[in-house]
Amino acid sequence: MDAKPTRSTRRKEAVSKADQPASAGQVQSLIRGLTLLEHLAGSDHGLLLTDLAQRVGLAASTTHRLLGTLEQLQFVRQDRELGLWSIGVKAFTVGAAFRGARNVVNFARPYLLRLRDESGETANLALLDDDAAVFIAQVESREMMRMLARIGGRGPLHASGVGKALLAALSEAEVDAIVRRRGLAKYTPSTIDQPERLRIELDETRRRGFSIDWEEHAVGLHCVAATIHDEFGAPLAAISVSGPKVRLPAERLIEAGLLVARTAAEITRALGGVLPQRPE
C-alpha cells in the first residue's frame, strides 16, 4: 500500500514545479493577459468582449478565457449589466505600489549618466519646492572646467534652466502667484526680470520642449532643461545639462536641448507619466 505524501513532500513538489521553466504556451498566455490589461487600462469606460478581442487580435473565446482567469485574480472586472470589462482592484493595487516605491533619484541616475556621456557636460536633476528649484542629483562632467551645483542647493525658478522648465509646466495662474510671492530678482544682465517677458519665454519653452538659461543665473554659464511629468501630467522633476558658454555656444545648446527633451520624455514614459501636448 502506497504511503500518503506528507505536507513537507507536497511543499517540495510545489517548489520543484515552480522552479521549472514556463512552457511556450504559458509564456504566450502571460503575454496575451498583459496585453489585455494594457488595452483595458487605456479605456476610460471599459470595453466589450468583442471590441477587446478585435483590438488585441484574438478570438473571442480565447479572450473570454483569459479575462475569466484575470477576473478570478481581481485584475479585471465586468459590469454584468452592460457587459463592459475594465481594470480591477488588484491591477490598481500593483500600480499604486509602483508609484509608492518610485524613487526619482535612483530611477533617473542611469539616464543622467548617459546624458553626461552624450553631452560631455554636467547633468542635473531638480525638484520644485517652495517656489524654488532644488537640486537633488548630479553627474559631473569629466572636463576640468565644469558646472557644479550643491545637492540640496536652491535655484531661482525664473533664472535657471531647471527652474524655467518647471515653471513652463505650470498653469499661468500658478506662475503669476509665484512671481507675486517671489518677485523676479536680477542675477546677471541677462536675467529676465519683467513678468511679460517671462511669459513669452515660458511660451517659447513649451513650444520647443526645453528651456534655455542664457547666462541668466551666472555669467559664462549656459544650461538647457526639460520637465519629467507624473501620471497626471504635472511636473515631477526637471533634468538639465549645464556647462561653460565656451563649450555650449548657441548651436550646441540647441542640440543639447533636444537631447535633454528626449531624455526627459523617456524618463516620463518609463515612470508611467503623461507627456502634455506641445503647443503649436
Least confident range from 9-18, 21-30, 157-166: namely 9-18
Least confident range from 3-12, 182-191, 245-254, 258-267: namely 3-12
- 123 vs 12 pLDDT, higher one: 123
The DSSP H or E segment spanning 93 is helix 89-101
3-state SS, residue 137: strand
The whole-angstrom separation of Cα 8 and Cα 31 is 33
The amino acid sitting at 77 is R
The string of pLDDT tens digits covering residues 64-105 is 999 999 999 999 999 988 999 998 888 867 765 555 545 788
The per-residue pLDDT for 269 is 92
- 197 vs 3 pLDDT, higher one: 197
Least confident range from 16-30, 36-50, 113-127, 241-255: namely 16-30
The whole-angstrom separation of Cα 28 and Cα 35 is 11
Q: Which residue has the cell 543639447?
A: 256
Q: Which of 18-22, 95-99, 190-194 has the highest mean pLDDT?
A: 190-194
Contact 67, 85 (CB under 8 A): yes
The per-residue pLDDT for 9 is 47
The per-residue pLDDT for 11 is 42
Q: How many CA atoms lie within 13 A of 9 on its CB side?
A: 4
| Closest of 122, 154, 147 to residue 241, by C-alpha | 122
Does residue 255 have a pLDDT over 80? Answer: yes
Does residue 61 have a pLDDT over 90? Answer: yes
Q: How confident is the model at residue 25 (pLDDT cuts 50, 70, 90)?
A: confident
The per-residue pLDDT for 175 is 96
The per-residue pLDDT for 106 is 85
| Closest of 238, 197, 189 to residue 215, by C-alpha | 189
Contact 107, 271 (CB under 8 A): yes
Return all residues near 164 (Cβ < 8 A) that are at least 6 apart: 157, 158, 201, 202, 205, 211, 212, 213, 225
Name the residue ranges covered by the structural domains of the chain.
Answer: 23-98, 103-270
Does residue 13 have a pLDDT over 50? Answer: no
Q: How confident is the model at residue 21 (pLDDT cuts 50, 70, 90)?
A: low
- CA 188 from centre of chain: 33
| Closest of 83, 85, 99 to residue 46, by C-alpha | 85
Torsion over CA: 69, 73, 76, 81 (sign): positive
CATH number of 23-98: 1.10.10.10
The whole-angstrom separation of Cα 158 and Cα 3 is 79
Average pLDDT over residues 230-252: 91
The per-residue pLDDT for 23 is 72
**H helix runs in 209-280, sequence order:** 250-270
Contact 133, 154 (CB under 8 A): yes
The string of pLDDT tens digits covering residues 139-186 is 998 887 777 777 888 889 999 999 999 999 999 999 999 999 999 999
The per-residue pLDDT for 158 is 95
3-state SS, residue 90: helix
Percent of the chain with pLDDT over 70: 89
Mean model confidence pLDDT for the chain: 86
The per-residue pLDDT for 8 is 46
Count the Cβ atoms, other than its own, within 10 Å of residue 72.
9
The whole-angstrom separation of Cα 80 and Cα 192 is 59
- CA 153 from centre of chain: 23
CATH number of 103-270: 3.30.450.40
CATH fold match for the domains 23-98 and 103-270:
no
The per-residue pLDDT for 96 is 58
End-to-end C-alpha distance for the chain, whole angstroms: 81
Q: Which residue has the cell 534652466?
A: 161
